[in-house]
Chains A and B, each alone.
Chain A
Amino acid sequence: MSGRRSRSRQSSGISEDQINDLIIKLQQLLPELRNSRRSDKVSASRVLQETCSYIRNLHREVDDLSERLSELLANTDTAQAALIRSLLTQ
Chain B
Amino acid sequence: MASLISDTEPPSHLHPTSTDLVRRKKRLSVSSSSASSSLTTGDGDSHARWRSEKQQRNYSAKLIQALRQVRLSSSSAAAATSSPPPTAQKRGKAVREAADRALAVSARGRTLWSRAILSNRIKLKFRKQKRQRPAAIPAVITTGSSSSSSGGRSKKRRVTVAKLNKKSIPTVNRKVRVLGRLVPGCKKESVPVILEEATDYIQALEMQVRAMKSLAELLSGSDLAPQRG
Instruction: Give the A-B contact count at a CB cut-off of 8 A.
Output: 154
Q: In the complex, A54 Cα to B171 Cα: how many Å? A: 19
**Does B28 contact A79, Cβ atoms closer than 8 Å?**
no
Q: Are A22 and B222 also in contact (CB < 8 A) when A58-B209, A65-B213 are?
A: no
Bound together, the chains give a CA A61 to CA B99 distance in angstroms of 13
Which residues of chain B come closer than 8 Å to A66, judged between CB atoms? 92-93, 95-96, 99, 212
Are A55 and B182 in contact, CB atoms less than 8 angstroms apart? yes
CB within 8 A of A74: which of B14, B91, B93, B213? B91
Q: How many A residues are at the interface, by size bracket?
A: 35 or more
A contact residues around B30 at 8 Å (CB): none
* A contact patch SS: helix
In the complex, the answer to whether A80 meets B14 with C-beta atoms within 8 Å is: yes
User: CB < 8 Å: which of A26, A65, A81 contacts B195?
Assistant: A26
Q: Please give the number of chain B residues whose Cβ is less than 8 angstroms from any Cβ of chain A in the complex.
A: 61
A90 at the interface (CB under 8 A from B): yes
Select which of A58, A73, A77 is within 8 A of B206 by beta carbon.
A58
Excluding A48-B179, A83-B25, 6 further A-B contacts by CB distance (< 8 Å) are: A26-B199, A29-B203, A45-B175, A54-B202, A62-B99, A69-B212
What are 22 A-B interface contacts by the 8 Å CB criterion? A19-B192, A22-B195, A29-B202, A48-B172, A52-B175, A54-B202, A55-B201, A63-B96, A65-B209, A68-B216, A69-B95, A70-B92, A71-B88, A72-B216, A72-B219, A73-B91, A76-B219, A77-B227, A80-B21, A83-B219, A84-B17, A87-B28
Residues of chain B touching chain A, judged by Cβ–Cβ distance below 8 Å, are 14, 17-18, 20-21, 24-25, 27-28, 43-44, 67-68, 70-71, 74, 88-89, 91-96, 99-100, 171-172, 175-176, 178-179, 182-183, 190-192, 195-196, 198-199, 201-203, 205-206, 208-209, 212-213, 215-216, 218-223, 225, 227-228
